[in-house]
Amino acid sequence: MKTAFTFVLGAAAVLAAGATTSFANDRYADRPPVMVSPDLSAPWVLQLGHAPGIVRPTRQAMQQPRRLFQAQPDQQRTAAVQQPAKRMAMRPQINPIYLPQEVAYDGPQKPGTIVIDTHQNFLYLVEKDGKARRYGVGTGKPGFEWSGTHKITDKKVWPDWRPPAVMIKREAAKGRYLPTYLAGGIENPLGARALYLGTTEYRIHGTNQPWTIGGAVSSGCIRMRNEDVVDLYERVKVGTTVEVI
Protein backbone atom coordinates (compact mmCIF):
# COMPACT_ATOMS: atom_id res chain seq x y z
CA MET A 1 0.00 0.00 0.00
CA LYS A 2 2.83 2.34 0.83
CA THR A 3 4.44 1.78 -2.57
CA ALA A 4 1.24 2.58 -4.46
CA PHE A 5 0.72 5.71 -2.36
CA THR A 6 4.26 6.87 -3.11
CA PHE A 7 3.69 6.45 -6.89
CA VAL A 8 0.49 8.50 -6.73
CA LEU A 9 2.26 11.28 -4.90
CA GLY A 10 5.10 11.28 -7.43
CA ALA A 11 2.69 11.54 -10.33
CA ALA A 12 0.85 14.37 -8.63
CA ALA A 13 4.12 16.21 -8.15
CA VAL A 14 4.95 15.93 -11.81
CA LEU A 15 1.54 17.24 -12.85
CA ALA A 16 1.88 20.07 -10.40
CA ALA A 17 5.18 21.05 -12.02
CA GLY A 18 3.38 21.60 -15.36
CA ALA A 19 4.51 18.49 -17.23
CA THR A 20 2.21 16.91 -19.82
CA THR A 21 1.42 13.27 -20.18
CA SER A 22 2.53 11.24 -23.24
CA PHE A 23 0.43 8.73 -25.10
CA ALA A 24 1.27 5.98 -27.58
CA ASN A 25 -0.22 7.97 -30.51
CA ASP A 26 2.17 10.87 -29.92
CA ARG A 27 4.92 9.07 -31.81
CA TYR A 28 2.96 9.58 -35.04
CA ALA A 29 2.48 13.31 -34.62
CA ASP A 30 4.47 15.79 -36.71
CA ARG A 31 7.77 16.60 -35.13
CA PRO A 32 8.50 20.24 -34.32
CA PRO A 33 10.95 22.04 -36.66
CA VAL A 34 14.60 21.39 -35.90
CA MET A 35 16.68 24.56 -35.94
CA VAL A 36 20.43 24.32 -36.35
CA SER A 37 22.44 27.03 -34.66
CA PRO A 38 24.46 29.23 -37.06
CA ASP A 39 27.39 28.91 -34.67
CA LEU A 40 27.81 25.21 -35.32
CA SER A 41 30.40 24.36 -37.95
CA ALA A 42 30.91 20.63 -37.58
CA PRO A 43 31.29 18.77 -40.92
CA TRP A 44 28.01 16.91 -40.47
CA VAL A 45 26.22 20.24 -40.07
CA LEU A 46 27.81 21.67 -43.20
CA GLN A 47 26.56 18.69 -45.17
CA LEU A 48 23.00 19.75 -44.39
CA GLY A 49 23.44 23.00 -46.25
CA HIS A 50 25.10 26.40 -45.99
CA ALA A 51 22.07 28.31 -44.72
CA PRO A 52 22.41 29.53 -41.13
CA GLY A 53 19.12 27.87 -40.16
CA ILE A 54 17.69 24.66 -41.59
CA VAL A 55 14.12 23.58 -41.05
CA ARG A 56 13.18 19.94 -41.45
CA PRO A 57 9.92 19.74 -43.47
CA THR A 58 6.89 18.14 -41.88
CA ARG A 59 5.42 14.88 -43.14
CA GLN A 60 2.54 16.83 -44.75
CA ALA A 61 4.93 19.03 -46.70
CA MET A 62 6.93 16.01 -47.87
CA GLN A 63 3.77 14.44 -49.26
CA GLN A 64 3.00 17.45 -51.49
CA PRO A 65 3.74 16.90 -55.23
CA ARG A 66 7.04 18.40 -56.37
CA ARG A 67 6.99 21.22 -58.91
CA LEU A 68 9.71 21.01 -61.50
CA PHE A 69 9.37 24.65 -62.47
CA GLN A 70 7.49 27.74 -61.48
CA ALA A 71 4.99 29.25 -63.90
CA GLN A 72 6.19 32.45 -65.49
CA PRO A 73 4.33 35.68 -64.79
CA ASP A 74 2.29 37.03 -67.69
CA GLN A 75 4.89 39.67 -68.51
CA GLN A 76 7.71 37.13 -68.72
CA ARG A 77 5.59 34.79 -70.80
CA THR A 78 4.71 37.60 -73.20
CA ALA A 79 8.38 38.57 -73.53
CA ALA A 80 9.33 34.95 -74.27
CA VAL A 81 6.80 34.87 -77.11
CA GLN A 82 7.84 38.23 -78.52
CA GLN A 83 11.60 37.57 -78.43
CA PRO A 84 11.75 35.31 -81.54
CA ALA A 85 9.64 37.87 -83.42
CA LYS A 86 12.13 40.59 -82.50
CA ARG A 87 15.03 38.47 -83.74
CA MET A 88 13.20 37.84 -87.02
CA ALA A 89 12.53 41.57 -87.40
CA MET A 90 16.28 42.25 -87.11
CA ARG A 91 17.04 40.08 -90.15
CA PRO A 92 17.18 41.76 -93.57
CA GLN A 93 13.86 41.52 -95.38
CA ILE A 94 13.49 40.44 -99.00
CA ASN A 95 12.87 43.22 -101.51
CA PRO A 96 9.25 42.88 -102.77
CA ILE A 97 10.51 43.06 -106.33
CA TYR A 98 11.79 39.50 -105.92
CA LEU A 99 8.41 38.06 -104.98
CA PRO A 100 6.65 35.93 -107.65
CA GLN A 101 4.64 37.85 -110.23
CA GLU A 102 3.34 37.70 -113.80
CA VAL A 103 5.33 39.89 -116.20
CA ALA A 104 5.48 40.60 -119.92
CA TYR A 105 8.15 38.57 -121.73
CA ASP A 106 9.32 38.91 -125.31
CA GLY A 107 12.22 36.45 -125.41
CA PRO A 108 12.65 33.81 -128.12
CA GLN A 109 12.24 30.81 -125.77
CA LYS A 110 9.24 28.50 -126.05
CA PRO A 111 6.61 28.32 -123.31
CA GLY A 112 7.69 25.97 -120.55
CA THR A 113 11.36 27.03 -120.74
CA ILE A 114 13.14 28.31 -117.66
CA VAL A 115 15.37 31.35 -118.22
CA ILE A 116 17.67 32.55 -115.43
CA ASP A 117 19.08 36.08 -115.62
CA THR A 118 22.12 36.01 -113.33
CA HIS A 119 22.69 39.76 -113.80
CA GLN A 120 19.28 40.85 -112.53
CA ASN A 121 18.77 37.79 -110.31
CA PHE A 122 15.45 36.72 -111.82
CA LEU A 123 14.17 33.34 -112.93
CA TYR A 124 11.50 33.32 -115.66
CA LEU A 125 9.16 30.46 -116.42
CA VAL A 126 8.06 31.31 -119.95
CA GLU A 127 4.31 31.15 -120.57
CA LYS A 128 2.04 31.69 -123.55
CA ASP A 129 0.89 35.01 -125.00
CA GLY A 130 4.07 36.93 -124.29
CA LYS A 131 4.05 36.41 -120.53
CA ALA A 132 6.23 34.75 -117.94
CA ARG A 133 6.10 33.93 -114.27
CA ARG A 134 9.04 35.67 -112.62
CA TYR A 135 10.77 34.71 -109.35
CA GLY A 136 13.62 36.32 -107.46
CA VAL A 137 16.73 34.15 -107.07
CA GLY A 138 20.15 34.13 -105.49
CA THR A 139 22.97 33.43 -107.94
CA GLY A 140 26.69 32.67 -107.98
CA LYS A 141 28.94 35.04 -106.07
CA PRO A 142 31.97 36.58 -107.82
CA GLY A 143 34.16 33.81 -109.16
CA PHE A 144 31.28 31.34 -109.35
CA GLU A 145 29.26 32.83 -112.21
CA TRP A 146 28.39 30.57 -115.13
CA SER A 147 26.05 30.35 -118.09
CA GLY A 148 24.77 27.61 -120.37
CA THR A 149 21.79 25.49 -121.35
CA HIS A 150 20.81 22.27 -119.59
CA LYS A 151 17.84 20.02 -119.00
CA ILE A 152 16.29 19.24 -115.64
CA THR A 153 17.44 15.67 -115.05
CA ASP A 154 15.96 15.06 -111.59
CA LYS A 155 13.59 16.54 -109.02
CA LYS A 156 13.74 15.90 -105.29
CA VAL A 157 11.62 16.80 -102.28
CA TRP A 158 13.61 17.94 -99.21
CA PRO A 159 16.85 16.80 -100.82
CA ASP A 160 19.91 15.53 -98.99
CA TRP A 161 23.09 17.57 -99.31
CA ARG A 162 26.51 16.14 -100.11
CA PRO A 163 28.92 19.05 -100.57
CA PRO A 164 31.51 18.46 -103.31
CA ALA A 165 34.99 17.66 -102.03
CA VAL A 166 36.35 20.86 -103.57
CA MET A 167 33.78 22.90 -101.63
CA ILE A 168 34.62 21.14 -98.37
CA LYS A 169 38.31 21.86 -98.90
CA ARG A 170 37.69 25.47 -99.91
CA GLU A 171 35.51 26.21 -96.90
CA ALA A 172 37.87 24.43 -94.49
CA ALA A 173 40.63 26.82 -95.59
CA LYS A 174 38.37 29.62 -94.34
CA GLY A 175 37.82 27.88 -91.02
CA ARG A 176 34.31 26.73 -91.89
CA TYR A 177 33.93 22.95 -91.77
CA LEU A 178 31.11 21.44 -93.79
CA PRO A 179 29.58 18.00 -93.22
CA THR A 180 30.13 15.35 -95.87
CA TYR A 181 26.40 14.58 -95.70
CA LEU A 182 23.34 16.36 -94.37
CA ALA A 183 19.86 14.83 -94.48
CA GLY A 184 17.01 16.84 -95.95
CA GLY A 185 15.10 19.12 -93.62
CA ILE A 186 14.62 22.69 -92.52
CA GLU A 187 18.29 23.00 -91.51
CA ASN A 188 19.48 21.80 -94.91
CA PRO A 189 20.79 24.63 -97.15
CA LEU A 190 19.11 23.05 -100.21
CA GLY A 191 15.71 23.82 -98.76
CA ALA A 192 12.39 22.22 -99.63
CA ARG A 193 12.97 21.22 -103.27
CA ALA A 194 15.80 20.75 -105.76
CA LEU A 195 15.86 20.63 -109.57
CA TYR A 196 19.10 19.09 -110.87
CA LEU A 197 20.67 20.56 -114.01
CA GLY A 198 22.18 18.14 -116.51
CA THR A 199 25.31 16.36 -115.30
CA THR A 200 26.55 19.42 -113.45
CA GLU A 201 26.71 19.88 -109.70
CA TYR A 202 24.41 22.88 -110.03
CA ARG A 203 20.79 22.92 -108.90
CA ILE A 204 17.82 25.19 -108.63
CA HIS A 205 16.93 24.75 -104.98
CA GLY A 206 15.29 26.29 -101.93
CA THR A 207 17.06 27.89 -99.01
CA ASN A 208 16.83 28.32 -95.24
CA GLN A 209 18.16 31.88 -95.72
CA PRO A 210 15.40 33.61 -97.72
CA TRP A 211 16.80 37.07 -96.98
CA THR A 212 19.70 36.31 -99.37
CA ILE A 213 17.38 36.21 -102.41
CA GLY A 214 18.31 38.89 -104.94
CA GLY A 215 22.05 38.71 -104.29
CA ALA A 216 25.14 36.98 -105.63
CA VAL A 217 25.49 34.57 -102.73
CA SER A 218 25.95 30.96 -103.85
CA SER A 219 28.71 28.71 -105.16
CA GLY A 220 26.94 28.54 -108.54
CA CYS A 221 23.55 27.06 -107.65
CA ILE A 222 20.35 29.00 -108.22
CA ARG A 223 18.72 29.73 -104.89
CA MET A 224 14.99 30.40 -104.36
CA ARG A 225 12.69 30.94 -101.40
CA ASN A 226 11.21 27.64 -100.25
CA GLU A 227 7.69 28.81 -101.15
CA ASP A 228 8.83 29.70 -104.65
CA VAL A 229 10.84 26.57 -105.40
CA VAL A 230 7.87 24.45 -104.30
CA ASP A 231 5.67 26.40 -106.72
CA LEU A 232 8.18 26.00 -109.56
CA TYR A 233 8.64 22.30 -108.75
CA GLU A 234 4.93 21.72 -109.33
CA ARG A 235 4.91 23.60 -112.65
CA VAL A 236 7.84 21.94 -114.45
CA LYS A 237 8.82 18.40 -115.35
CA VAL A 238 12.02 16.45 -115.79
CA GLY A 239 13.31 17.30 -119.27
CA THR A 240 12.47 21.01 -119.03
CA THR A 241 15.07 23.25 -120.71
CA VAL A 242 16.92 25.70 -118.47
CA GLU A 243 18.91 28.59 -119.96
CA VAL A 244 21.29 30.44 -117.66
CA ILE A 245 22.42 33.80 -119.10
Residues that are catalytic: 205, 221
Distance in angstroms (rounded) separating the CA atoms of residues 199 and 179: 23
Left, alpha or beta for 49 (phi > 0: left; psi -120 to 50: alpha)? left
Beta bridge partners of 177: none
What is residue 117's three-state secondary structure? strand
Closest by Cα among 219, 237, 61 to 142: 219
**Residue 83, burial from CB neighbour count under 10 angstroms (0-12, 13-18, 19+):** exposed
Phi, psi for residue 68 in degrees, rounded to 5? -80, -25
DSSP-H helix ranges across the chain = 2-16, 43-46, 59-62, 74-90, 165-172, 226-235
Let me know: does 225 contact 213? Beta carbons within 8 Å. Answer: yes
